[in-house]
Chains A and B, each alone.
Chain A
Amino acid sequence: MSIVDYRHELPVVEGRLTARQIEEIIVKPLGEKPDKKYFIALAISLTALGIGAVSVLWLLLKGTGIWGLNQPVGWAFDITNFVFWVGIGHAGTLISAILFLLRQKWRTGIARFAEAMTIFAVMTALIFPILHTGRPWLAGYLMPYPNQHQLWVNFTSPLVWDVFAVSTYFIVSFVFWYVGLIPDFATLRDRATSQLKKILYTVFSLGWRNSHRNWQHYEKAYMLLAGFATPLVLSVHTIVSFDFAVSIIPGWHTTIFPPYFVAGAIFSGFAMVVTVLIFVRKIFNMEEMITMNTLEKMNKIMLATGLMVGYAYSMEFFIAWYSGNPFEQFIFLNRALGPYAWAYWIMVSCNVLSPQLFWFKKIRRSIPAMFVISILINIGMWFERYVIVVSSLHRDYLPSSWGYFVPTIYDFGVLIGSFGLFFTLVILFTKALPVISISEVKAVADNAQPSHHGGNH
């Protein structure tokens, strides 16, 4: 084991890259024609998206019945996917907003990408609240808008809270992301060789001139937006969890849900970011900016949030026992031992057991290990929502109404389609915009902040 030198901060950007080199590396993918690998990746994700599109078309033509839903399981893949994708988004906001406020410089290498994933994940998630309704063409009814019928939405319904929470989240994340992009747009504008790019970047850079005044306003705005986005990290998944917690169904009606959901969201979001970044840093030669140290820190966060969800799982059982409520006790026993025990144990082994490997530094710093574990966490977190949604519904109060949910190919079709949409957007993003914030990385690189001590400190 190497001895860590605690007298110096770990360099955020390795390899003593100059500002120019940083810019070159980040901008490189934007200038190059996409290669074969890129098209293969795009073809795969577009195929997945196509499968989803066909499933959705059939859904719109025939009705919700093409899914496997039934009485009593009124929600299954649809809401599972929704919560899963909203959760994925959380890592981005946490990294860009909270870590920014906490002055965590290592965030700069991954913030842009994580933020983009937030936006794409929320876009993907937003499909489900619309598609899960029986009459998606009337989904506008969920918006409070003045109308002659004097119809109004029901402000006591968590689904309406969802509409506000998720749309606010999307808008704020998008604005935050865009504001962060402005200096980079200006850089791209200045480097652009083609007329079209020049015009586009000029428009998007909103007249950025790198002036002190620009920077001063920018820093203020960025700080304010970070402050604004921070509570959203907590509020969005809290409100999503209210969809369940506000109901009276045992297994849903649980006060632990808000913190448990937020922890789970960060957990799954980090896993997804790690999964994707492992590839991005390799393919685009960005190992020096998305460093192993950064990945290790993310793995530590996964370990911490994994422990939190593990705690939540055990606390649910404890409270079920402690409450003395027979319905509550039954639902948790049924989760672990009933027809959906397989899903429950997949969830526990993926979410609680697999991150424990991150206690070992070697594993934390091993690319293949973290790839496998992050994938497992993604699977586990999808199953966590599946277990919550389906296993609570399938056996609630009256044994006469119990049922079992069996997904159909269309359930899988839409699930695959959601991954298709997300990854298509991610893949297009890598070629359309700088995946790492140029200005921010420059600012944290060695020698960026001149000092009396020769730059290292």
Chain B
Amino acid sequence: MADNKDQNLDVNYWRSFEELNGDVKSLKLKHDEFHEGVTEDFDPEKNLSGISRRKFLALVGASAALAGAGCSDYREKGEIVAYNKKPEEIVIGKANYYSSTCSSCSLACGILIKTREGRPIKIDGNPDHPINKGKICAKGQASILNLYDPSRYQRPTKGNFGFRNDIDWKTVDKEIKNILTTNDGKEIAIVLHKVNSPTAIKVLEEFKNKYPTLKFYYYDLFDDGAKLSAFRKTHGVAALPVIKFEDAKIILALEGDFLGVDGNKLEQGRKFAERRDVDDTKNFSRVYSVEGNLSITGMNSDYRLRLSPVHQYEFVASLLNELILKRNIGGIALDGVAREVVSSVSLDSFASKHDLDKNVLKSLADDLANHRSDVLVFAGSILNEETHILVNLLNEVLGNSKLFSTTEINENLHEYSSKTEIENLVQSMKNGNVKLLIHFDSNPVYHLSKDFDYENALKNVANTVTLCIEENETAALSNYVLPINHNFESWGDASVRNGLFSLLQPVISPLYDTRQKEAILLHWMNDNVDNFDDKQYLNFLKNNWMTNVYPKINSPLTFDRYWNISLHDGVSQAKNKSQINYQFNRAALNSINKPKVSGNYCLTLTENLNIADGRFANNGWLQELPHPISKVTWDNYAAISHQTGKKINLKINDLVEISVHGKTKIFPVVLQPGLANNFINIELGFGRTHCPVIAADVGVNANHLLSKENFGSSNLYDNVTIKKVDGKGTVVTTQEHHNYDEALIQEAHKKRFIIIEGTVNQYLKDPKFVQTRPRHTLKNINKEHEYKDVKWAMSIDLNKCIGCGDCVVGCNVENNIPIVGKDQVGRGREMQWLRIDRYYSGTPENPKINVQPMLCQHCDQAPCENVCPVVATTHSPDGLNQMIYNRCVGTRYCSNNCPYKVRRFNFFNFRDNLKNSYYEQDSISLLHNPEVTVRSRGVMEKCTFCIQRIMDAREEVTRSGIKLKGTDVKTACQEACNTNAIKFGDMNDLESEINRYRNHDLGYVVLEDTNVRPNVTYIAKLRNSHSEEM
């Protein structure tokens, strides 16, 4: 052994003669541990079969590892790095709120933006804002989705008609600066919507000072031009005063939707609801609505008359005749044209001519005559100027000036451009006299009437710049498309009332390579455009506030402190507001020539409450929010009355061709109960052609019908024809999959006590009328559970609920509710946890309408719970019906057994299913509320009473060692409800408001007979009619 060992250590064995002889090659071989070809580096260029064994194994290992890593659990993707240096203002798991101003429309409501770990996730109203007082509409709430919209432009592009290349901002700046500074006397045009920001106006003014050939063109698809111009003629002021709806005892709405699209619905709705308090029924206001379309206001009115808007002029004149000539009211002696107009009509003959209910008209006339100064006549901005002048006269006759504020007016920072001005612009464009055309976040190619021929003129403009957030029709035809910041990434201010200023502040740094639109102009004013300073606009804003706003406010603070406080509050208001005097100017009455009415159809092109002028067309939440009345989603349509439908032999989803002065377009039909005969209503904002995927193929572009030959107001048309054409539309609704006039189901909602309503007089006479209805109460066979501590309950006041749907969007945003798309809504699979049920009763011609928010009733004896085979839905000790998503296998038995059908099933992974996983893209994940599980496919879900908020409140009180109170929690729908119809709290707290409502004389639960014991109480609706009967 020892010998062997020695040999092994010392002896150089030779393996071949070459080796023994010291052959170089052989020595090299011996030196290398492995044979050639065994260890060489992998080179894919070489023949792969020459890969060494070692390399092969390495590759196999690597590919296995790669496959393993690539297909691994999604949770392992990327690194999760905690804040190792914690930002001062962020506490993980705690939301921060920043006040700002909404720019979803031009009303500039104050908002509070909720951010979590630096990303905005929810929008609420700013409670300090005097106009919207803590509430914000559906659009404002859903605008958060636009921030994270995956289709947002991410960098500037340049190109022509479809061929677009990315370009960097520096090059853009240089090229535009060159164009701007070329001194050839040609026009620079900026086309823009209404601007409500004083600082933006200042930027625009300075821009004009710098480049004097600049002209501004202001337009909007919906403006109150006719109303404003009438008011200027009658009262000499070009701004409408704020109306005190809360002081009006009688409101007469003439084609006026003050709860919807006319004016600030948040403010007006709140004021309206103030006089719908069931504890103060004597003070109920009475609303008469006379309209052709069925508006939210009409739906909530106590009396409603159908009248085509072209006849409103004559109707107002008839009322004036009744009041002034027949009842001698007002002390205004009419002369001239006015006398002629008024004396030529009478209420009686008008009623017979238009088949109006004479009893209603008589009580209207009586109410007007008896309450005079407490009567408000409100005309919709869609009416023509002549009618508005008559309405102003009617208000003057009634002497109701106390209903119009003299200190608060809706200020306009500029005037809209006239038709002629826009025509001139198009002419200059065609002549090549416009060297630079800037679309300042506007989309005239889509919005403007084809009469203007804007689209063609655009081709003759050498340089078109479109500042926009995402693709639109105008951007598609522009040379430069410059992406701008979303509202939530921007600084800014707004002023829509005299002496009221609000601020916008960014809550997240720009997600993409975008700039704020004002800052772009500001930058182009610099002599040197090499370096963009993103603070420049902030400084400009601050300076403007220092010089222009701060002095007006008369603040005792230093500017810096004042600025910080304003930024914190989001709003700043001058203490002393000047009085504005307006006097009725009778000279205006000379221009009230009677408009000529044809015998043909009348058409109104109105605003869709959800997607506005089309700017929210790519917002899935808003597209899917059902229309408050027709419950149609993802579409617009020609709404006509049942009688008219019968006349032309139309059913829902038939196609009609509508012609307006030579312009035609084909629309699907919806037979809308309650519409005037010979009247068509179509909503605008749909049928976008150049738009991101969500908006694509949604509805028909009714802007094609816009014509110069209107009925005195840009969206009102007379002499319209309608013709049935072959084919079928695809309008889908979330409700009413059955015929309205089937005898078997008429008034089912009343027979089943789903809706209970009465009149104010009936309630005053018999306060217990709701409780004394026929009731069947069942006995329990098992012992009832006792809820000793907090027990959550909700009450919904049907007197205050106007059915707008803001709460639905609030719930969507709070609870990460998926958007399912039109085809799925058509299949009846919408996911909204909260829906607004709308019921018609009476005849299709004159329906009475009730709305009812329907959500999980959190029944004490929930029928869903005992049928779930896997205990995935259970009851909590505080009375909540809970869903355990992880445990749910999706048998849908719970949903089948739910008498309210409020459970929602994930038939697909809806985020994945919609339009090529549009809402499953990265940016969308930032949107989700981190406190709420994003549900997967195959799982049931439903309203949780915002359990995450309850838990949050519970943690808070536990930390401070106090007892949880019902008022500590506000649900998302409650917060969103503008009219405060929704109350939430602890029903075991005997002092609480919720307990009072739960035991209210007018309170009832839906489907009491089933003995499921819901925890949602509805307060029966009272209509303020004259009689005790409905």
Does A62 belong to the interface (CB within 8 Å)?
yes
Does B744 belong to the interface (CB within 8 Å)?
yes
- Contact flags B818-861 to A (C-beta < 8 A → 1, else 0): 00000010011110000101110000000000001010000000
Q: Return chain A residues, CB-CB under 8 Å to B835.
A: 400
Which of A63, A154, A338 touches B907 (beta carbons < 8 Å)? A63
Which of A132, A138, A248 touches B899 (beta carbons < 8 Å)? A248
CA distance A397 to B870 in the complex (A): 26
Closest chain-B Cβ to A246's Cβ sits at a distance in Å of 7
Q: Do B854 and A75 touch (CB < 8 A)?
A: no
Does A1 belong to the interface (CB within 8 Å)?
no
Q: Do A397 and B1007 touch (CB < 8 A)?
A: yes
Question: What is the predominant secondary structure among interface residues of chain B facing chain A?
Answer: loop
Does A68 belong to the interface (CB within 8 Å)?
yes
Q: Return chain B residues, CB-CB under 8 Å to A404.
A: 737-738, 828
Interface centre among A65, A157, A398 (most CB of B within 10 A): A398
CA distance A142 to B870 in the complex (A): 6
Q: Do B901 and A157 touch (CB < 8 A)?
A: no
Q: Contacts A74-B905, A338-B744, A398-B899 given: A134-B737 contact, CB under 8 Å?
A: no
Q: Do A141 and B738 touch (CB < 8 A)?
A: no
A65 nearest CB neighbor, chain B only: B907
CA distance A400 to B888 in the complex (A): 26
B940 nearest CB neighbor, chain A only: A134
* Interface segment, one of A20-28, A280-288, A326-334, A371-379: A326-334
Does B863 belong to the interface (CB within 8 Å)?
yes
Q: Contacts A157-B869, A393-B896 given: A398-B754 contact, CB under 8 Å?
A: yes
Q: Contacts A74-B892, A333-B744 given: A400-B913 contact, CB under 8 Å?
A: no
Which of A153, A326, A402 touches B869 (beta carbons < 8 Å)? A153
Which of B745, B751, B870, B1010 touches A153 (beta carbons < 8 Å)? B870
Q: Return chain A residues, CB-CB under 8 Å to B1012.
A: 248
Q: Return chain B residues, CB-CB under 8 Å to A402.
A: 737-738
Which of B749, B890, B903 touches A64 (beta carbons < 8 Å)? B890
Q: Do B892 and A249 touch (CB < 8 A)?
A: no
Does A50 belong to the interface (CB within 8 Å)?
no
Q: Do A134 and B897 touch (CB < 8 A)?
A: no
A159 nearest CB neighbor, chain B only: B869
For chain B, residues 847 to 901, give those with C-beta under 8 angstroms from any C-beta of chain A: 852, 854, 863, 866-871, 887-893, 895-897, 899-901
Which of A63, A134, A156, A399 touches B888 (beta carbons < 8 Å)? A134
Q: Return chain B residues, CB-CB under 8 Å to A154.
A: 866, 868-871
For chain A, residues 286 to 340, give those with C-beta under 8 angstroms from any C-beta of chain B: 326-327, 330, 333-334, 337-339
Closest chain-B Cβ to A240's Cβ sits at a distance in Å of 13
B745 nearest CB neighbor, chain A only: A399
CA distance A403 to B1007 in the complex (A): 19
Does A151 belong to the interface (CB within 8 Å)?
yes
Q: Do A396 and B899 touch (CB < 8 A)?
A: yes
Q: Contacts A71-B904, A134-B906, A152-B871 given: A398-B892 contact, CB under 8 Å?
A: no
Closest chain-B Cβ to A253's Cβ sits at a distance in Å of 10
Does B915 belong to the interface (CB within 8 Å)?
no
CA distance A63 to B895 in the complex (A): 17
Q: Do A141 and B901 touch (CB < 8 A)?
A: no
Closest chain-B Cβ to A337's Cβ sits at a distance in Å of 7
Does B938 belong to the interface (CB within 8 Å)?
yes
Does B347 belong to the interface (CB within 8 Å)?
no
CA distance A406 to B839 in the complex (A): 24
CA distance A133 to B900 in the complex (A): 21
Which of B752, B830, B895 touches A72 (beta carbons < 8 Å)? B895
CA distance A154 to B888 in the complex (A): 12
Q: Do B837 and A400 touch (CB < 8 A)?
A: yes
CA distance A331 to B889 in the complex (A): 29
Q: Return chain B residues, CB-CB under 8 Å to A141.
A: 869-870, 887, 889
Does A275 belong to the interface (CB within 8 Å)?
no
Does B559 belong to the interface (CB within 8 Å)?
no
Q: Do B937 and A401 touch (CB < 8 A)?
A: no
- Contact flags A124-155 to B (C-beta < 8 A → 1, else 0): 00000000111110110110000000011110
Does A276 belong to the interface (CB within 8 Å)?
no
Does B748 belong to the interface (CB within 8 Å)?
yes
Does A163 belong to the interface (CB within 8 Å)?
yes
Closest chain-B Cβ to A410's Cβ sits at a distance in Å of 12
CA distance A10 to B778 in the complex (A): 58
Q: Return chain A residues, CB-CB under 8 Å to B891.
A: 132-134, 159
Q: Return chain A residues, CB-CB under 8 Å to B940.
A: 134
Per the CB 8 Å criterion, the residue count for chain A at the interface is 56
Q: Return chain B residues, CB-CB under 8 Å to A87.
A: none
Q: Contacts A63-B909, A248-B1010 given: A157-B752 contact, CB under 8 Å?
A: no
CA distance A62 to B830 in the complex (A): 17
Q: Return chain B residues, CB-CB under 8 Å to A403.
A: 737, 828
Q: Do B907 and A247 touch (CB < 8 A)?
A: no
Give the size category of B's interface with A. Answer: 35 or more
Q: Return chain B residues, CB-CB under 8 Å to A138.
A: 889
- Contact flags A67-105 to B (C-beta < 8 A → 1, else 0): 011111111000000000000000000000000000000
CA distance A399 to B737 in the complex (A): 9
CA distance A160 to B1010 in the complex (A): 24
Q: Do A74 and B870 touch (CB < 8 A)?
A: no
Does A258 belong to the interface (CB within 8 Å)?
no
Q: Contacts A65-B907, A134-B906, A163-B869 given: A157-B748 contact, CB under 8 Å?
A: no
Q: Contacts A135-B939, A141-B889 given: A71-B905 contact, CB under 8 Å?
A: yes
Closest chain-B Cβ to A135's Cβ sits at a distance in Å of 4
CA distance A201 to B852 in the complex (A): 70
Q: Do A74 and B895 touch (CB < 8 A)?
A: yes
Q: Return chain B residues, CB-CB under 8 Å to A135.
A: 888-890, 937-939
Q: Contacts A63-B907, A400-B835 given: A70-B829 contact, CB under 8 Å?
A: yes
CA distance A326 to B1007 in the complex (A): 12
Does B908 belong to the interface (CB within 8 Å)?
yes
Q: Do A65 and B913 touch (CB < 8 A)?
A: yes
Does B980 belong to the interface (CB within 8 Å)?
no
Q: Do A134 and B890 touch (CB < 8 A)?
A: yes
Does B735 belong to the interface (CB within 8 Å)?
yes
A69 nearest CB neighbor, chain B only: B907
Does A158 belong to the interface (CB within 8 Å)?
yes
Closest chain-A Cβ to B855's Cβ sits at a distance in Å of 12
Q: Contacts A339-B738, A398-B754, A398-B837 given: A70-B827 contact, CB under 8 Å?
A: yes
Q: Return chain A residues, CB-CB under 8 Å to B909.
A: 63
For chain B, residues 123 to 139, give those with C-beta under 8 angstroms from any C-beta of chain A: none
CA distance A395 to B828 in the complex (A): 13
For chain A, residues 357 to 400, give those with C-beta under 8 angstroms from any C-beta of chain B: 393, 395-400
Q: Do A400 and B838 touch (CB < 8 A)?
A: yes
Q: Return chain B residues, CB-CB under 8 Å to A65.
A: 824, 827, 829, 907-908, 913
CA distance A243 to B892 in the complex (A): 12
Q: Do A134 and B905 touch (CB < 8 A)?
A: yes
Closest chain-A Cβ to B917's Cβ sits at a distance in Å of 13
Interface centre among B887, B891, B902, B1009 (most CB of A within 10 A): B891
- Contact flags B107-141 to A (C-beta < 8 A → 1, else 0): 00000000000000000000000000000000000
Q: Contacts A63-B907, A65-B829, A135-B890 given: A401-B901 contact, CB under 8 Å?
A: yes
CA distance A327 to B749 in the complex (A): 11
Q: Jot down 17 A-B pairs with beta carbons below 8 A, ordered by A.
A: A63-B907, A63-B913, A71-B905, A141-B887, A153-B871, A154-B869, A156-B866, A157-B869, A247-B863, A327-B752, A395-B738, A397-B752, A397-B754, A398-B749, A399-B738, A400-B838, A404-B738
Q: Which B residues are closer than 8 A to A by beta carbons?
A: 735, 737-738, 744-745, 748-749, 751-752, 754, 824, 827-830, 835, 837-839, 852, 854, 863, 866-871, 887-893, 895-897, 899-909, 913, 937-940, 1006-1007, 1009-1010, 1012
Besides A141-B889, A248-B1010, 20 new A-B residue pairs in contact (Cβ under 8 A), listed by A number: A63-B937, A63-B938, A65-B908, A65-B913, A69-B892, A70-B829, A72-B896, A132-B891, A133-B889, A133-B891, A135-B889, A135-B938, A135-B939, A163-B869, A247-B893, A247-B897, A327-B752, A334-B744, A339-B738, A399-B745
The 4 A-B pairs of least Cβ separation, nearest first, read: A134-B890, A134-B938, A65-B907, A70-B828
